[in-house]
Structure 1
């Protein structure tokens, strides 16, 4: 049976960064996703740069993707800057797609 983290990451893999055209998991932006007994889902993530103009768009898409999972009552996004994002965090497929 898949853990909630597995289910959450699979749902988040459907969220596409509209600027880059690659999913947020493949980009390495998602550090963790958890669900507590009260239905509080917390996503710990970063962005490729501070002040990203798509922050709100991504937050809305992430929330929508996770709210469809069983047991999720509320989604909280914990935006962190450490560890810092780098190209090394990207999946091989994302690197190939972006030509890096």
Structure 2
């Protein structure tokens, strides 16, 4: 008797750890790119710190909303540049990258991932 096992189904794409609106095929690469950006003040990536407020992708633009832990953050420009550089590595060349710095709602430690809180001892 020859019984066939069902073919394994691909796992569904993991949801981005921030609001994402765009093509499913870009969700994981964009999330991975942003996770490679480190906030040097806390030595954690900006996704785990909770600095990414959302990503929207349309036919022309990848729009990323970011915040900082403080308006007086001395590395704002560095983080924005790193985010754009990492996104440029994974986003199709036809799409423009727009990073927007937002302050509302204000960042709070509750935005941090469980792993980031554990590392920070919170």
How does the TM-score come out when normalised to structure 1?
0.88
Q: 1:5 to 1:83 in 2, by over 3 A?
A: farther
Query: What SS does structure 1 have at the residue aligned with 2:92?
Result: coil
Is the Cα contact below 8 Å between 1:29 and 1:46 reproduced in 2?
yes
Aligned counterparts of 2:27 and 2:54: Cα–Cα separation in 1 = 7
Higher relative contact order (CA 8 A, sep 6+): 1
Find the counterpart in structure 1 of residue 6 from structure 2. Answer: none
| Deviation for aligned residue 1:98 | 1.3
Which of 45, 50, 53 matches 2:71?
Answer: 50
5+ residue gaps, structure 2, are 1-11, 14-23
C-alpha distance in 2 between matches for 1:43 and 1:9: 11
Query: Could you list the runs of 4 or more consecutive aligned residues of structure 1 that deviate by over 3 angstroms after TM superposition?
Result: none
Question: How far is the alpha carbon of 1:78 from its aligned partner?
Answer: 1.2
Aligned pair count reads: 99
| Higher Rg of the two aligned structures | 2
SS where residue 83 of structure 2 aligns?
helix
Structure 1 spans left out of the alignment, 5+ residues: none
Cα shift at 1:26: 0.2
The yes-or-no answer on 1:89 pairing with 2:111 is yes
Work out the CA distance in 1 between the residues paired with 2:98 and 2:106. Answer: 20
The structure 2 residue matched to 1:75, chosen from 97, 103, 114, is 97
